Structure 1
Amino acid sequence: MPSETPSDAPATPDSSPQHVSAFAGFQRIASGPAAEVIAGLRATAPPPDVLVRVFDDATGTRLDLDLRPQAADEPSPAPTAPATPPPRAVGRPRLGVVAREVTLLPRHWEWLNRQPGGASVALRRLVDEARHVHRERDALRAAREATYRVMTEMAGDLPGFEEAARALFAGDGKQFQLLIDPWPEDLKTYLQQLSAAAWNPS
């Protein structure tokens, strides 16, 4: 089994897919901006006996979509009246800051509170520094997880799946390419696209 376990959690609501790929069976039938692809699929109405799967190209997540032609015409829920915004406080703008709970030990809070600007400023600085330092590692992991999600959906029953998954998480690009080479052409091309950043620079 793979040495790492990808996160299968769905994308958060504020991270809508921008670019997607659609497959009918193993054939890629569309690829492009999400709105255009979904509208095209609804317009063409694929036969009911054809399994159409749509993937977010950024995460490899399969999207749960209603592709019936009438789905595009169904009215959206009536928007609720927005609440009256509170008076704007004097000071710097929030710049998109989101308040969420953070659980730390007392010694962590003590250290954070001693930093210039307080705990919030120190945490933001630490996160930004970590994002910069680990950018390549994070991109590598994200590419492996996206590739594995699509493999699990599309290739779980294909020969060499387990071995290809192990090669993917071991960073063995040559072995991975060798194992997926006999797979359907469109699927193989898509996995190569998703896994482009999944290999160690060395």
Structure 2
Amino acid sequence: MTQQTTTCTAFEGVRRIASGAFVDVALAVKQVTERGEQAPVLIFDDVTSQPVEFDLRGTADEVRERLTREQTGAPVSDESADPTDASAPRGRGRPRLGVVAREVTLLPRHWDWLNSRPGGASVALRKLVDAARLSGEDTDRVRRAQEAAYRFMTALAGNLPGYEEATRALYAADAARFAASIAQWPGDVHEHAAKLASRAFGAV
């Protein structure tokens, strides 16, 4: 598994089996598969809706132990030195505070404008970069939320009435039309799709 999150949701057809920590969901899925599932079992990462796969071989204790070991394994060490590592010996003089000096090439009018800002060119550039970064993060958050909702909807609701209209509403950021389009979906699918889409609409 390569998922970055630690929670997921499993469905047997359109019925939600379990939602929560990987270990708990895996054990619930194991019970379903061992009794002989009547519908396909799909497991979705709670943030990305990417499929999650578990190794369910062995006993419940073996599955639990295997998943716990995978999630708590020691991280891969990086032997390369990090110049910003706080544990590295410091030289004399003023602390660097993580500031990295790089060359920036601008036209004279750009430098004139930057130098006229309070705090000078460096402060102005940092503020501009931070503002652009935050704006980009908002856009990326919405895009990732749309992709997660669409991925789940395609897997479980692609044949349900209102799917195409719901997809259009999702990417148009039309929360009311989205809610109306999924109103007739099975309860568990409706609830999970609405939860995922709410992130794209800015509700959470």
TM-score (norm 2): 0.62
TM-score (norm 1): 0.63
One-letter code aligned to 1:93: D
Structure 2 unpaired stretches of 5+: 70-76, 88-100, 105-125
Deviations 1:51-92 (A, max 9, x none): 111100111112233445568388x9xxxxxxx986x75954
| 1:93 lines up with 2:85 in the alignment | yes
For residues 32 and 189 of structure 1, what CA distance do their matches in structure 2 show?
15
What is the identity percentage for the equivalent residue pairs of Structure 1 and Structure 2?
34
Report what 1:107 is aligned to: none
One-letter code aligned to 1:39: L
Deviations 1:99-143 (A, max 9, x none): xxxxxxxxxxxxx9515xxxxxxxxx8986644232322222111
For residues 90 and 140 of structure 1, what CA distance do their matches in structure 2 show?
33
Is the contact made by 2:12 and 2:37 (CA closer than 8 Å) also made in structure 1? Answer: no
Report what 2:46 is aligned to: 57
For residues 174 and 82 of structure 2, what CA distance do their matches in structure 1 show?
55
- CA separation of 1:133 and 1:27: change in aligned 2, threshold 3 A: same
DSSP 3-state at the match of 2:200:
coil
Report what 1:37 is aligned to: 25
Report what 2:197 is aligned to: 195
Is the contact made by 1:62 and 1:150 (CA closer than 8 Å) also made in structure 2? Answer: no
In the alignment of these two chains, the number of paired residues is 158
For 1:168, which of 165, 170, 173 is the aligned residue? Answer: 170
For residues 41 and 188 of structure 2, what CA distance do their matches in structure 1 show?
14
Is the contact made by 2:50 and 2:151 (CA closer than 8 Å) also made in structure 1? Answer: yes
Deviations 1:126-176 (A, max 9, x none): 986644232322222111111000001001111121111111101111111
Report what 1:133 is aligned to: 135
Runs ≥4 in structure 1, deviation > 3 angstroms? Answer: 64-71, 88-92, 125-131
| 1:114 lines up with 2:103 in the alignment | yes
Structure 1 unpaired stretches of 5+: 1-10, 77-83, 96-111, 116-124
Name whichever structure is richer in helix by fraction: 2
Q: Quick check: which has more Rg, 1 or 2?
A: 2
